[in-house]
Amino acid sequence: QLWHVGRMSHPDFHGGELPHAPSAINPHSKSFTPEGFKDTETPKEMTIEEIKQTILDYKKAAENAMRAGFDGVEIHSSNGYLLHQFFNRTSNVRTDEYGGSIENRARILFEVIDTIKEVMPENRIGLRLNPSLHGIFGMTMDEETIPTFDYIIEKLNQYNLAYLHLSEPFNDISEIPYAEKEIAKRYRPIYKGTLIINAGFDQERGNQFILEGLADAVAYGKPFISNPDLVERFAENAPLAEWDQATFYTPGEKGYTDYPKLSVSKLV
């Protein structure tokens, strides 16, 4: 994944300088620093020159990934980080070509894709989006949120991407106006390429989505943390180990590399 966290970063990572973002709006969240979680600060609004340089930084990162032998990259434009901050009117109040209209707020994403494809084939580029994020990292939904993602995802059909990776809602958004509760059902008919879905899936629900044609693949996160042999366990319908959420975002091997695999004898 190619990341830029925008306003979710912290001056501790930038020699005391403020992190960059579309607009100078504090998400009033927490940033994980070497000293642990700290309150976010009001970021610096990016100049046009800084936006253009950041787009080139994505290109350099993709170029470095290919030189290092990666098969491809996923552009992380999701979950309240920089590119997502440009999409959302609560984090982007610019009045130039990168703010205001849906087309302007989405502009940076397509400029990033266009510059990355100069150094690698389009079909080695994946993209991650989260249309239903609300109440996390200062992001809220409004009447233009879903139309913005409708525009983005429809326009992505002009590219030959490796895949589009979407998330179902992370939390309960049943009472949120304008929210889309069923992401795969909405966007499977719109997006013509390979579609990956994730967020809160178990094996049964993942299989159901595949069988119903709602996605081409399902991505698993937390179950993979606690089950390094998740594929083998799914294949054998073996029980899964529970993850220890208290170890998330903590240093050291505990909760990352210390989950055991099932023995071969149990899988045979």
Residues labelled as active-site residues: 81
Q: What does residue 211 show for φ and ψ, rounded to 5 degrees?
A: -65, -35
Q: Which of 149, 148, 143, 197 has the alpha carbon at shortest distance from 169?
A: 197
Name the one residue in this structure whose structure tokens are 């966007």. Answer: 187
Q: Which helix (DSSP H) or strand (DSSP E) does residue 185 occupy? A: helix 183-187
Q: Which of 29, 31, 8, 32 has the alpha carbon at shortest distance from 20?
A: 8
Amino acid at 49: E
CB contact at 8 A, 131 and 149: yes
Triad 60, 161, 232: Cα angle to 5°: 100
Look at residue 156 and give its three-state secondary structure.
helix
Q: Which of 194, 119, 106, 198 has the alpha carbon at shortest distance from 155?
A: 106
What DSSP letter does each residue of 52-65 carry, written as one string?
A: HHHHHHHHHHHHHH
Q: Residue 179 corresponds to which tokens in the numbers above?
A: 């929210």
What's the full length of the chain, in residues? 268
Q: Which of 234, 226, 179 has the alpha carbon at shortest distance from 206?
A: 234
CB contact at 8 A, 77 and 134: no
Name the one residue in this structure whose structure tokens are 């994980």. Answer: 32
